[in-house]
A and B are shown apart, each in its own frame.
Chain A
Amino acid sequence: MLQFARDYLPLYFQGTLVAIAVTALSMLLSVAIGLAAALGRLSGSRAARSIVSAYVAFFRGIPPLVLLYVVYFGLPSWAEQMGIRPLAAFLAPLNNRVLSAVIAFGVNSGAYSTEIIRSAIASIPHEQMEAAQSLGMSYWLAMRRIIVPQSARVAFPPLGNEFIAVLKGTSLASVIGVTELMRDAQLVAAATFQNLMAYSLAGVYYVVLVIMLQGAVGWIEGRLSLAHK
């Protein structure tokens, strides 16, 4: 068993790196969407609020695997069939597996990030906005300089959890052939017929990754609260 681990562990390295990269890019997209959507939802615009509500309701409801299939198998070929050239050209990058995965996971997780960031912003006392406005700041300047920076500290721990959830979710990308950690495990299993060992090793990798991530989140959280004391 140990011999098996020793022989095959290195084969998982590359997949691990891919999984981390896909997670990081997805979260980047997710937080960007989340911040924009949260600000839109809190803004006075009724249209922005309904669009954001619809986005959250839809993408929180759709399973990531379904979304992944729609994005990778569905969208580019649909654009081809429609024969609208600019649309086809626009969606062509989705033929790239990694990009498809990043977009599917990012858009999916963005719905959760929206709620996390929205409630973080809402948790900042209203007096902070008033104090900023009494200095002559506009709503958006106050958001940028005063409210959003303070809410970052509140949003960080739940966003850390979301990061972990997305990391584990990247295993789904194996079904569209992204050679991430889970895909490596499938390849090892197919080559050795040692299914239990092959998949357990992948599991160990995920657990170690998540523990490391949790440590990093805790450390950064500590740093962030230090800045206030």
Chain B
Amino acid sequence: MDRTVGFVSASREAAGAPRDPLPAPDRGDRGSRPERPVLELNGVGKTFGRHPPIAALSDVSLIVNRGESVAVVGPSGSGKTTLLRCINFLVPYDSGRVLVNGRLVGYRERQGRLVPDTEPRVNEIRKRIGMVFQRFNLFPHRTVLGNLLEGPLYVLKVPRTQAVQRAKAALELVGLTDKIDAYPGQLSGGQQQRVAIARALCMEPELMLFDEVTSALDPELVGEVLAVIRRLAQQGMTMVIVTHEMAFARDVADRVVFMEAGRIVADQPAVDFFMKPATPRIEAFLSRFAVPGRPG
């Protein structure tokens, strides 16, 4: 395992470093109580449209502790992507609570009611959550280095030399040091996705969200991207991974969450999920994937 570029340890230092302007609620009582989960969802709901309303998420609760990686699987349209997007508030949820490091995302409490939070405060939380999209979404007008500098320079206001250092370390981790001056259009899908992961890492996030990051890739390019995620898991990065790669979920995730029709149907340790499916529905779902080592 390669520990030369340790994004996770760096982000932990950052969490306690003085540059952090936000008091993390769990600080100070770390000794007396167990550490607060990085991510907590309590009864989160989201409805799209009105005629008729479609419930994308209903009563979703989930806890992700520091260093854990959780795979979210389930059929298309089951709300997996919406779940991820509610976590960094790209989609505003309409009931329940999302807490990142104990801080409510997107809303603030006023006289017992939740009111929408201001944009700067939402961004304050987004800074600490890295997101990787299905379709990469790199900035096509900037080089690889430019893509990696954008966040650190203009959002975190890190000095340029330091931002460049971070970018180089991130590129080393994803194995694309030689592409530093390339434009996204010159890279393969797998390379673009690895740059997208590096771009998120440059923010030194405490939580990484992966939204079906291999679904848009040619089959032979999937491996290189999964290898990078695997490496992050080994480094102890906290991650929520929406995926259709069952073998990968089994090998890398600590826990697997199964979603259907906007609900979490099962939340089990990865081994149990595949070896002892909780419901016949999951059994049937899994039977469509050839997962090595799984009976049947």
> Is the C-beta of A63 less than 8 angstroms from some C-beta in chain B?
no
Asked whether A136 and B135 contact (CB < 8 A) given A150-B140, A228-B183, A229-B185, the answer is no
**Which A residues touch B199, using CB under 8 A?**
135
Nearest residue (CB) in A for B153 is A145
Q: How far is the CA of A130 from the CA of B130 in the complex (A)?
A: 12
> Is the C-beta of B151 less than 8 angstroms from some C-beta in chain A?
yes
> Is the C-beta of A133 less than 8 angstroms from some C-beta in chain B?
yes
Q: Counting chain B CB atoms within 10 Å of each CB, which of A127, A134, A137, A141 scores highest?
A: A134
Minimum C-beta distance from B186 to chain A (A): 7
Asked whether, in the complex, the Cβ of A229 is within 8 Å of the Cβ of B139, the reply is no
**Which residues from 230 to 281 on chain B have a C-beta closer than 8 Å to any C-beta of chain A?**
none
> Is the C-beta of A139 less than 8 angstroms from some C-beta in chain B?
yes
Minimum C-beta distance from A185 to chain B (A): 44
> Is the C-beta of B137 less than 8 angstroms from some C-beta in chain A?
yes
**Which B residues touch A139, using CB under 8 A?**
119
> Is the C-beta of B82 less than 8 angstroms from some C-beta in chain A?
no
**Which A residues touch B126, using CB under 8 A?**
133-136
Q: How far is the CA of A139 from the CA of B119 in the complex (A)?
A: 9
Asked whether, in the complex, the Cβ of A135 is within 8 Å of the Cβ of B141, the reply is no
Asked whether, in the complex, the Cβ of B151 is within 8 Å of the Cβ of A228, the reply is no
> Is the C-beta of A82 less than 8 angstroms from some C-beta in chain B?
no
**Which B residues touch A146, using CB under 8 A?**
139, 150
Asked whether, in the complex, the Cβ of A136 is within 8 Å of the Cβ of B123, the reply is yes
**Which B residues touch A138, using CB under 8 A?**
119-120, 123
Q: How far is the CA of A149 from the CA of B90 in the complex (A)?
A: 22
Nearest residue (CB) in B for A151 is B141
Interface size of B in residues (CB-CB distance below 8 Å): 29
**Which B residues touch A131, using CB under 8 A?**
133, 137-139
Minimum C-beta distance from B101 to chain A (A): 15
**Which B residues touch A145, using CB under 8 A?**
150, 154
**Which B residues touch A150, using CB under 8 A?**
139-141
> Is the C-beta of B88 less than 8 angstroms from some C-beta in chain A?
yes
Asked whether, in the complex, the Cβ of A130 is within 8 Å of the Cβ of B141, the reply is no
Minimum C-beta distance from A16 to chain B (A): 35
Q: How far is the CA of A227 from the CA of B146 in the complex (A)?
A: 12
> Is the C-beta of B127 less than 8 angstroms from some C-beta in chain A?
yes
Q: How far is the CA of A118 from the CA of B84 in the complex (A)?
A: 31
> Is the C-beta of A14 less than 8 angstroms from some C-beta in chain B?
no
Asked whether, in the complex, the Cβ of B155 is within 8 Å of the Cβ of A135, the reply is yes
Nearest residue (CB) in A for B138 is A131
Asked whether, in the complex, the Cβ of B127 is within 8 Å of the Cβ of A136, the reply is yes
Asked whether, in the complex, the Cβ of B151 is within 8 Å of the Cβ of A229, the reply is no
Contact with A along B178-199 (1 / 0, CB 8 A): 0000010110000000000001
Asked whether, in the complex, the Cβ of B141 is within 8 Å of the Cβ of A134, the reply is no
> Is the C-beta of A128 less than 8 angstroms from some C-beta in chain B?
yes
> Is the C-beta of A168 less than 8 angstroms from some C-beta in chain B?
no
Q: How far is the CA of A133 from the CA of B88 in the complex (A)?
A: 9
> Is the C-beta of B35 less than 8 angstroms from some C-beta in chain A?
no
Asked whether, in the complex, the Cβ of A228 is within 8 Å of the Cβ of B185, the reply is yes
What is the interface of chain A, defined by CB distance below 8 A to chain B?
127-128, 130-139, 141, 145-146, 149-150, 153, 227-229
Known: A135-B126, A136-B123, A227-B183. 4 other contacts (CB 8 A): A133-B90, A137-B151, A146-B139, A228-B140
A-B contact pairs, 23 of them (CB 8 A): A127-B135, A128-B137, A130-B90, A130-B137, A131-B133, A131-B138, A133-B90, A134-B88, A134-B90, A134-B130, A134-B131, A134-B200, A135-B126, A135-B127, A135-B199, A136-B124, A136-B203, A137-B123, A137-B151, A145-B154, A150-B139, A228-B140, A228-B183
Closest 9 CB pairs of A and B: A136-B127, A131-B137, A135-B151, A134-B131, A136-B126, A136-B155, A136-B123, A127-B137, A150-B141
